[in-house]
Amino acid sequence: MRRRALLLTLTGAGIVVTLVACVLWAYWRHLDNQVYSQTAFLMGTSVELRVYGRNAQTAAARVFDRLREIEAKMSANLPTSEISQVNAAAGQEWVRVSPDTLVVVKRALAYADLTDGRFNPAIGPLVALWGIGTERARVPLPAEIAQRLPLVDANSVLIDETRTSVYLTKPGMSLDLGGIAKGYGADEAARILRELKVKGAFVNLGGNVYAVGSKPDGTPWRIGIQDPVQPRGALLGVVETGEGSLVTSGAYERCFVEDGRRYHHILDPRDGYPAESDILSVTIVAASSTDCDALSTSVFILGTEAGLALIERLEGFETILVTKDKRVLVSSGLKERLQLRNEEYEIDETR
């Protein structure tokens, strides 16, 4: 009799323990599958962040802190930023900057070299003149542009690595990291999220996308590519991707209309006008969002031929290029991963 009671007791206890374990496991899994989303306006754009994992919310807070820090250092619109200080001291003196700013300026200058000055961080005077994306956007007089072109000179941006300082040699010069700083922000966001070992995260700094880790269900990330001629939200296609960055640049992003003509925000430093490109939009996929950001702008200004030649010279970059005649050029590594959504476009198989 006693034996039977003992047996029952043990069975009961066993069931209870198993059930408690189940509950704990479910709760544990629930914590793991937690998702935290937040959108904020930073670095002149909307920043969308989605983090999966038990520490999602803390991780997101850390990322936003870091992005605010980068903005405070690199924004050309904040008078207190390091970049504004460098600009204010143009033609006068060296300005000490943080390692962050130095890294980004160096990277920007490397791209100026690679693109023969088409990508140019010294574009500041032209950006200010056109004011695209602001209330005072207007078409400048040819004389105004001509006056500023000599100031848009990447060779006159000097850096001193040992003193982490930057000097613009000509008075009136100014740096604008708008074509690269968002990429750096996305890279830094990804670095923090990896360090904090979140399960997965999706970062989108106004089109600079970084996917970290994996989604809770293990499926690949699906990133929509904006259709360059349709309203926002309409897709050209969808790219399936693992960890890494994807950045799209196009003439449609920021623009204004004057006397029936559209003027977009990607200025060609050679003539001071919005780049006359045969490209509608460029998407670059790579591990570094800083590189994707700078390259997407570079390729847009260079145009199809020179742009693709540049990509081929570099390693580790994939592209989707939409031309004005609605051809879609896709590099070999992306062909399998891109699904077109709009039948108006056709993948050009000749490349």
Partner 1 sequence: MRRGDRWAIAAIMALLVLSFGVRALFAYFQRGAGMTAVISQDGMVYRRIDLLKVAEPYEFKVVARDGAYNIIRVEPGRIRVIEANCPEQIDVLQGWISRPGQSIICLPHRLVIIIQGRETEEDEEDIDGISG
Q: Which of 204, 288, 297, 323 touches partner 1 (CB under 8 A)?
A: 204
- Site size with partner 1, rule: CB under 8 A: 57
Q: Which of 246, 266, 275, 299 touches partner 1 (CB under 8 A)?
A: 246
Evaluate the CA torsion angle 279, 281, 286, 292 in order and state its sign.
positive
State yes or no: residue 126 binds partner 1 (CB under 8 A). Answer: no
- Give the nearer residue to partner 1 in terms of CB position, either 184 or 202: 202
Evaluate the CA torsion angle 181, 282, 252, 256 in order and state its sign.
positive
Q: Which of 111, 184, 221, 300 touches partner 1 (CB under 8 A)?
A: 221
Cβ-Cβ contacts under 8 Å for 314 (sequence gap 6 or more): 295
State yes or no: residue 5 binds partner 1 (CB under 8 A). Answer: yes
Of 286, 125, 152, 274, nearest to 210 by C-alpha is 286
Q: Which of 75, 84, 277, 281 touches partner 1 (CB under 8 A)?
A: 281
H/E element, 107? helix 99-114
Q: Least separation, in Å, of the C-beta of 2 and partner 1?
A: 8
Q: Which of 202, 300, 317, 345 touches partner 1 (CB under 8 A)?
A: 202
- Give the nearer residue to partner 1 in terms of CB position, either 102 or 211: 211
State yes or no: residue 226 binds partner 1 (CB under 8 A). Answer: yes
User: What is the rounded distance in angstroms from the CA atom of residue 134 to the CA atom of residue 242?
Assistant: 36
Q: Is 246 helix (H, G, I), strand (E, B) or coil?
A: strand
Q: Least separation, in Å, of the C-beta of 6 and partner 1?
A: 9
Of 86, 66, 204, 77, nearest to 131 by C-alpha is 77
Q: Dihedrals φ, ψ of 96, to 5°?
A: -75, 135
Residue 246 backbone zone (phi > 0: left; psi -120 to 50: alpha; other: beta): beta
Q: Least separation, in Å, of the C-beta of 216 and partner 1?
A: 11
User: What is the rounded distance in angstroms from the CA atom of residue 196 to the CA atom of residue 55?
Assistant: 8
Question: Quick one: which segment of 38-46, 85-93, 175-183, 190-198 binds partner 1 (CB under 8 A)?
Answer: 38-46
The footprint of partner 1 (CB under 8 A) covers: 1, 4-5, 8-9, 11-12, 15-16, 19-20, 22-23, 26-27, 30, 37, 39-41, 45-46, 48, 50, 135, 137, 202, 204, 207-209, 211, 215, 221-226, 228, 231-233, 235-236, 238, 246-248, 250, 252-256, 281, 283
